[in-house]
Amino acid sequence: DGRQVAWGKVFRTGVLTYLTAADHPQLRALGIRVICDLRRADERTREPTRWPDETARPLSWDDGAAPPTIRTLADKHPYTAAGMRAAMCDLYRALPVWMASRLRGMFECAATNDLPMIVHCAAGKDRTGIAIALLLAALGVPKDLIINDYLLTNHAGDFEKFIVSRSVSHQPLLELPTDIRAVLFTADADYLHAALEEIDNKHGGVTTFLRDIVGVGEHMQQQVHSRLLA
């Protein structure tokens, strides 16, 4: 309808454990009201969020069903870069349904103007990439622009360097062959296409998926439009 997504309302990022004092002034200036943490409970315990003040409300979820994991899905494919890419596509197909309650919480924050908001997981790539893609789709953003936004992940930082620097152990990841690590650490358009195509094929599109699986009906979607389109 000619409107654009409002700037400075929703931020996508990775884990917030390693913020430094030098980061704090810039982060406070964002005026964040909610930190929507998509990670599992064990991840939150291992790497707790450290925000510079108490004005931002943390939002997280206790896990019900076991989440899909790349380790389990990779066992179904050859131990090659191509096999790992196929496993990543499987992961993206499985994540949206598992994330339903998390997605509803994110949409509720947007609908009630609990903004600006941070949405994050561990790397800000897979779970967060899907969440933001669905939010943009609900706002009417064309698929090619959604994919381009997701691919900006590859320019946001050095994932391998970040993993090495973290205090938690990711040694098994670092011992993988270089070509397989690259598959895991890269935002690939095929991954997000797999998620969106799964939603189209099994649920009839993003709008019906949000309504029937996530619990975000037309009224809430219109509220989100009023908050995030300008």
d(C-alpha 186, C-alpha 181), whole Å: 9
Q: Which one of 3.90.190.10, 3.40.630.30, 3.20.20.370, 3.30.365.10 gives the CATH number of domain 10-60+69-228?
A: 3.90.190.10
Averaged confidence pLDDT in the chain: 93
Helices 218-228, 127-138: inter-axial angle, 10-degree rounding? 90
Confidence band of 195 (pLDDT split at 50, 70, 90)? very high
Q: Global pTM? A: 0.94
**Alpha-carbon distances, residue 124 vs 36, 120, 174 (angstroms):** 12, 5, 19
- 134-151: pLDDT as tens digits: 999 999 999 999 999 999
Question: What percent of the chain has pLDDT above 90?
Answer: 82
For residue 34, pLDDT over 90 is answered with yes
Domain boundaries, the chain: 10-60+69-228
The pLDDT assigned to 170 comes to: 63
Q: Which of 16, 219, 33 is nearest to 109 (CA)?
A: 33
Indicate the length of the chain as a whole number: 230
